[in-house]
Structure 1
Amino acid sequence: MTSRSPADEADAVVRAVLDDFTSRRHLGVVVDSPPGAGKSTLVVRSAIDLAAAGECVMVVAQTNAQADDLVARMTLRAPDVIIGRLCGKDHLAIARALHLSRSNVLVRDKLTDLGDAPIVVAPAAKWDFVPDVRMPWAIIDEAYQMRSDMLLRLAPRFERALFVGDPGQLDPFTVIDNDRWTGLRWDPMQSAVAAMLRSNSHLPQHQLPYSWRLSTRAAPPVSDAFYPFTPFEPGTTADQRRLEFSTRGLGGGAVDETLDVAARSGWALHELPARHTVRTDAEAVDATARLALRVLERGATAWSETEPGGATVTAERIAVGAAHRDQVDAVRERLRHMAGGDRITVDTANRLQGSEYDFVVVLHPLSGRRDATSFHLEAGRLCVLTSRHRQACVVVARAGIQALLDSHPSSEPMHIDVPAKFPDGWEANHAMLAHLEPFRVRAA
């Protein structure tokens, strides 16, 4: 008896999800998805299958960018299905420009103007302002990013919901003090999934088993560090991914050495000398920008299962991730003065969630710090930053993070009735640094 391929196994899980969801036996179904496991594909397929069966479905995204991406995917899969894109007036012109060439997409700011569109896609914040609507089906994308208070407001608008998201990435956050709600069943700062399951633990839960983004070199360390209880495997084989440079590194010093290590192994740690610095560490910012730009200068080519003949790694296929907006602004400013650098994506972990690139350069959240706050130790933040790549990831950091972690062990207070979250940031950071150790390149 031959074992099934990863594609067959993944398809079997998707069919099980759709069977549970459309059987009408459950008011909700939860699907956990590791990075690049086909979460958006599942959302799109579910919505289109319901529309094909004559049903109406509301699709809830968390941002306008996510909503526009889902609409674009739906039009490719089902060009004959009318899709409604509901958005606020401030995003109306942008959405219309994005979907102008798609004849089956209606972009409106009022639900009543979408007629009988069987699929309506909008961010949660927009659905919150749609009065007097109740649909039989809802699909909530990035459900772990949605706060439970938003789910409470949207719940009257649908009968059954499919919750799809990545449990290992960033939780909902707020800038206000939320200790007054900690431990309560209706704590608004829980994710929508956590709050829903605390009151409905009997609902079916599924997990997508393979990552199609992370390679055989990337999936194991990410799974071990961030998904200890929901492990996953790569959906591709070792010989399907390869990254090469058309020119050898001459005169690039540690930068070129780092890129060569990353091309061979899929990972590299570009380590700067130990030093306490301000958040916008000029040396770290410069190294991060030069590494990203050097990928272009050396003419990187990526081979994969979708591009077996190889494809040039252009600026649009490179990203830089950081923890803070001021760090992002500093890297962008540095790249702006480099030829071609202004086309490289630079953003925070929050905004990079859900995106995918060939090559990613990460400015480590703990680099150069004197302390390890809960923000910088957040496991989901490092998970997002180190799981966006298909080919290689380079982490830029000052030496001494392990010592910093040891001197600031996890000391978050324990609260009654609050489930412990695993892994904690201390453990996840140590695990990822241990993995990067063999791929370390010291920069003078």
Structure 2
Amino acid sequence: MSPTRSTATTSSDASAGHLPCPDPARVIEAVLGDLTSGDHRGVVVDSPPGAGKSTLVVRAAGVLAATGAPLIIVAQTNEQVDDLIDRLGGAHPALPVGRLSAVDYVPSERVRGHPRCRVGVKVADLGEPAVTIGTAAKWATVTDGVWPWAIVDEAYQMRSDALLRVAPRFARALFVGDPGQLDPFSTVEVDRWTGLSWDPMQSAVAVLLRHNPDLPVHRLPVSWRLPHTAAPVVAEAFYPFTGFRSGTGPGDRSLTFGRPADDERDAVLDTAAATGWGLHELPARFTVRTDAQAAAACADLAVRALAREAVAVSEKGSARLSADRVAIGAAHRDQAAAIRSFLPPWASGVTVDTANRLQGREYDLTVVLHPLSGRQDATAFHLESGRLCVLTSRHRHACVVVARAGIADLLDAHPSTEPVHLNVPVKFPDGWEANQAMLAHLARSGPGRHR
């Protein structure tokens, strides 16, 4: 993540979680004002976790559609597309929406539930909807037509080459994304392009601002997902130059258990419920990636939280903690599969997935298998600040981190020595620093830390 200009906040104090933040409604109005006026071709909005990014996208779509000019929405995954269609249907049920899809796409229940959504493989199949929405990969196959407006969702996770292929399809655009989370990724080696101006692994926003330095940049200042116990921690570790605050304060949310504590798992859960964070620390050991003991611990914590009949209270009301409101996150798919194998059938509704697939989603309680747990080395993949940021910012109430002891020693033995490349902006914070900040907070979490 590279620091960017902001029209919303000017302080760069490192204690970002406590920065004074502007009124969210005023920021949104400023975004919409910049988008519909002036001679610039785009507006960038930085959004911390749970700051209402999707709400902004849906509201902006409604405002632009009301002008009578059609627009397109570019998302990065099919899940994101279907979620946005569902939100559009709830906010603007009379708005005609076209869902651009692949030949083998099967409409999800969210899409089928939209009263005026039409699905098609080609733009011509959709009629003339007010909003046409599809993935960046699908829009790259569209070679005809220009729309007056576009909204690019999760723009920081969009590769620059994908933006170049889609850019001819619109005149002006709103780019919305989270600069602190996962960067664009590829399954092939990309070192050959590092430092080159045409490096496809640059994010769409990085390239956009490099070539258009005068574009307005706004920041949403409030996270409505993260509780007051989490916003300062996440802001300090992953957003040191921008800052944001929680939309809730002490006493606004609570997580309580209906059954008393019996063992150390319960002590960790009780600490997490009281303070927002818990660390379940296993004995130090170098392990294979699919560490069975760590995987079992992650599953056990989730199962125990459900078995203790937890109740989550928030501004949305009071509800029993159900399996679909619990998530377990890991760095790799094989780790997620190992964790899933330890869940009993009655807890199969618990979401178990990688950071890449959990991005953009939220739960009441999350359990995280630390990316560096049991490792002998600290690779760039496992040190990436965005990966840990996603894993530790999905929760509305509490997050429990499962890790083997010794991660701090591992970080000290592998200091930040990433090579410096010409023409590559330095990322802030780097993964080494972000991991140290998060570990320091977890170490202070009190009696929830166990061996």
**TM-score, reference length from structure 2:** 0.94
Q: Which residue of the partner structure matches residue 411 of structure 2?
A: 405
Q: Deviations over 1:390-420 (max 9, x none)?
A: 0000000000000000000111100111110
Cα deviation, residue 186, structure 1: 2.2
Report if aligned partners of 1:83, 1:106 keep a CA contact under 8 Å in 2: yes
Q: Which residue of the partner structure matches residue 60 of structure 2?
A: 46
1:269 maps to which of 273, 276, 279 = 279
Cα separation, 1, equivalents of 2:113 and 2:60: 24
1:184 maps to which of 186, 191, 196 = 196
Find out whether 1:368 has 2:374 as its counterpart: yes
Find out whether 1:417 has 2:423 as its counterpart: yes
Cα deviation, residue 111, structure 1: 1.0
Q: Which residue of the partner structure matches residue 114 of structure 2?
A: 102
2:153 maps to which of 131, 141, 153 = 141
Alignment length, in residue pairs?
431
Q: Which runs of 5+ in 2 are unaligned?
A: 1-19
Find out whether 1:58 has 2:72 as its counterpart: yes
2:278 match: secondary structure = strand
2:32 maps to which of 13, 18, 30 = 18
Letter aligned with residue 151 of structure 2:
I
Cα deviation, residue 102, structure 1: 2.6
Cα deviation, residue 287, structure 1: 0.4
Cα separation, 2, equivalents of 1:193 and 1:258: 40
1:318 maps to which of 326, 341, 362 = 326
- CA root-mean-square deviation: 1.3
CA change 1:236–1:64 in 2 (3 A) is same
Letter aligned with residue 434 of structure 2:
A
Q: Which residue of the partner structure matches residue 357 of structure 1?
A: 363
Letter aligned with residue 303 of structure 1:
V
Cα separation, 2, equivalents of 1:59 and 1:362: 32
Cα deviation, residue 339, structure 1: 4.0
Q: Which residue of the partner structure matches residue 429 of structure 1?
A: 435
Q: Deviations over 1:359-406 (max 9, x none)?
A: 000000000000000000000000000000000000000000000000
Letter aligned with residue 94 of structure 1:
P
Report if aligned partners of 1:185, 1:198 keep a CA contact under 8 Å in 2: no
Cα deviation, residue 306, structure 1: 1.6
Report if aligned partners of 2:21, 2:245 keep a CA contact under 8 Å in 1: no
Q: Which residue of the partner structure matches residue 73 of structure 1?
A: 87
CA change 1:299–1:7 in 2 (3 A) is farther
Cα separation, 2, equivalents of 1:418 and 1:286: 41
State how 1:322-401 maps to structure 2 within 5 Å. 322-335=330-343, 338-401=344-407
Find out whether 1:89 has 2:117 as its counterpart: no
1:90 match: secondary structure = coil
State how 1:100-139 maps to structure 2 within 5 Å. 100-139=112-151
Instruction: Detail structure 1 runs of 4+ shifted over 4 Å in the superposition.
Output: none
Q: Deviations over 1:96-127 (max 9, x none)?
A: x4322332111222211211201011111111
Q: Which runs of 5+ in 1 are unaligned?
A: 1-5
Cα separation, 1, equivalents of 2:316 and 2:36: 31
Report if aligned partners of 1:84, 1:105 keep a CA contact under 8 Å in 2: yes
Letter aligned with residue 87 of structure 2:
R
Find out whether 1:304 has 2:314 as its counterpart: yes
2:197 match: secondary structure = coil
2:342 match: secondary structure = helix
CA change 1:7–1:51 in 2 (3 A) is farther
State how 1:105-254 maps to structure 2 within 5 Å. 105-250=117-262, 253-254=263-264
1:360 match: secondary structure = strand
Q: Deviations over 1:266-308 (max 9, x none)?
A: 100000011111111111001000001111100111111121x
Report if aligned partners of 2:98, 2:119 keep a CA contact under 8 Å in 1: yes
Q: Which residue of the partner structure matches residue 7 of structure 2?
A: none
Of 178-187 and 257-266, more deviation after overlay is shown by 178-187
1:84 match: secondary structure = strand
Report if aligned partners of 1:220, 1:233 keep a CA contact under 8 Å in 2: yes
Q: Which residue of the partner structure matches residue 3 of structure 1?
A: none
Cα separation, 2, equivalents of 1:47 and 1:24: 18
Report if aligned partners of 1:186, 1:195 keep a CA contact under 8 Å in 2: no
Cα separation, 2, equivalents of 1:121 and 1:340: 37
Cα separation, 2, equivalents of 1:100 and 1:69: 12
1:395 match: secondary structure = strand
CA change 1:386–1:258 in 2 (3 A) is same
Cα separation, 2, equivalents of 1:27 and 1:78: 26
2:68 match: secondary structure = coil
Higher helix share: 1
2:251 match: secondary structure = helix
Cα deviation, residue 25, structure 1: 1.9
Cα deviation, residue 442, structure 1: 4.6
Report if aligned partners of 2:21, 2:221 keep a CA contact under 8 Å in 1: no
Q: Which residue of the partner structure matches residue 445 of structure 2?
A: 439
Cα separation, 2, equivalents of 1:89 and 1:178: 30
Report if aligned partners of 2:73, 2:151 keep a CA contact under 8 Å in 1: yes
Report if aligned partners of 1:321, 1:346 keep a CA contact under 8 Å in 2: yes
Letter aligned with residue 297 of structure 1:
A
